[in-house]
Amino acid sequence: MKILTGAQIRELDKYTIEHEPIASIDLMERAARAITAAIQQQWPQGTPVVVFAGPGNNGGDALAVSRMLVEKGYTVDVYLFNVHGHLSDECAKNRDRLINDGLIHHFTEVSTNFDPPKLTEQTLIIDGLFGSGLNKPLEGGFASLVKYINQSPARVVSIDVPSGLMTEDNIGVSHKAVVRADVTLTLQMKKLVMFFADCQQYLGVVRVLDIRLSKEYIKSIPSAYSTVEADLVRQMMLHRDDFAHKGMMGSALLIAGSEGMAGAAVLATRACIRSGVGKVTTLTPRCNYVIMQMSVPEAIVHPDSENYYSEAISTEEYNAVGIGPGLGRDEGSALALMSQLQQTQCPVVLDADALNMLGSHGMWISQLPDNMIMTPHPRELDRLAGTASHSEGERLAVARDMAENLRAYIMLKGHYTALCMPDGSVMFNTTGNSGMATAGSGDVLTGIITGLLARGYSRKNACVVGMYLHGLAGDIAAQRVGKESLVASDIIAALPDAFKALY
């Protein structure tokens, strides 16, 4: 599913109005009906409602919702902020409709001084101050109003996006100047900002309301951002030939583990084997040899001569290589890593300590071969980039630029893992849960992607299918054991069911 920018959403509105065709005021009415129905589902008729409406179309939506709630029997107080003496056409029309109906409990059009209403625990606030068209942080009186809303005990429903939050870039936005909603009723589709971890504090529960904007336009418009859905993953899945043998199913090499970190090698290897590959070899320090042989009897173990990764090996017989889980950061390992990358021709996945070693040798990053797959968590990305990002939006931009510049696939891990690709496009994963925030989960992901690459998936498809499978297995595991008790090996145990769900 595509994710459109704020500018594209405005173009989508315009296209729908012109080609449905439908008048702008009637499209606003359609949106208001959907919002009103969603509010009715959650809050009973006796709930006192206070509406804060801005001067634009978001305010027009809020005024239309106010009228509809009044018609449904709700007691509604409305505050329309018109401090510059100018309302959008639709906002002005809905103001007049609301006043002319004569049913509103209390209506105030604020132009100068504002006497704020009392907000109690029973009050429902409808935030219709500013929507997806906002292009600068709130300040002055509007920032003070937002602070007043956030300090109240009332529950808050925001229309489209919480006021003060911009749809893409929120660098420089004060957290005090953004409404903290309990529920966000967003129109037609999620906005990019809704995929960022640091913005979840403002969104509350996000519900997407279908207001029947043009599907034709959505299909035709190019978008750099999209989400990964089950149907797309099913189209990418490879099917096993009935006469296949292990030699046809690919051979994977994992370079993982160090003294005290054998578990990372075990988890990555188990996950790799569970991903359909014909054969897995794990290069690990000699101190982990017995542990590996006993823990993963299906794997071939290639012990390093030292108790750390000390020397690159030939990869001619392998179809994919995964490097990094629990590898440690010995300087000898760093040198072996670069030597390995320079001589490896098959697809490579870099994770964990492989990324940390690259980050500590900044000049090496520019020497990486094209089409590397890297799976950093946020701090690992910051180390790779050599700078600390101030927001999730900024961090995504860094990852996206890095993917383009290095011609790499960078999988920025998080609740909505973002796959940044060499062509500048970004795909957000839609599976997974907070129970997967546990040691070893990333090692499992590395094993899955490496296995899929060796199995014959393209780099892009291995990343897309891999992150979706990883999250889906985590969701299945959470259903079995709960989020609190979930550990990385539970994700591996759920992989068979995740595969079955997609075939």
Give the pairing type, strands 2-3 and 49-53: unpaired
**Residue 219 confidence (pLDDT):** 95
Q: What is the CATH code of the structural domain delimited by 2-222?
A: 3.40.50.10260
Phi, psi (degrees; rounded to nearest 5) at 375: -125, 65
Q: Euclidean distance between the first and final Cα of the chain, in Å? A: 21
CATH number for the domain formed by residue range(s) 230-502: 3.40.1190.20
Instruction: Tell me if residue 52 falls in helix, strand or coil.
Output: strand
Task: Report the SS3 class of residue 59.
Answer: helix
Q: What is the 3-state secondary structure (H, E, C) of 141-180?
A: HHHHHHHHHHHCCCEEEEECCCCCCCCCCCCCCCHHHCCC
Q: Tokens for 380, please give them.
A: 């690992």
Q: What does the CA dihedral 223, 468, 296, 290 come to, rounded to 10 degrees? A: 50
Report the predicted TM-score, pTM, of the whole model to 2 decimal places: 0.95
Longest dimension (CA), the chain: 86
pLDDT of residue 169: 84
What are the angstrom distances between the C-alpha of 143 and each of 150, 164, 237? 11, 8, 49
Tell me the mean pLDDT per 10 residues along the chain, length 503.
94 97 97 98 97 98 98 97 96 97 93 94 98 93 97 98 94 92 98 96 98 96 97 97 96 97 98 98 97 98 96 97 97 97 97 97 93 97 92 96 98 98 98 98 98 98 98 98 98 98 96
Q: Report residue 390 CA to chain centroid gap.
A: 17
pLDDT score of 422: 98
CA 377 – CA 355 distance, rounded (Å): 10
Question: Alpha-carbon distance 355 to 373, whole Å?
Answer: 11
Domain ranges of the chain: 2-222, 230-502
Tokens of 61: 């939506």
Nearest Cα residue to 423 out of 405, 450, 441: 405
Over the range 201-239, which residues count as b (16 or more CB within 10 Å of their CB) and which as e? ebbbebeebebebbeebbeeeeebbbbbeeebbeebeee
Q: Contact at 8 Å (CB) between 80 and 109? A: yes
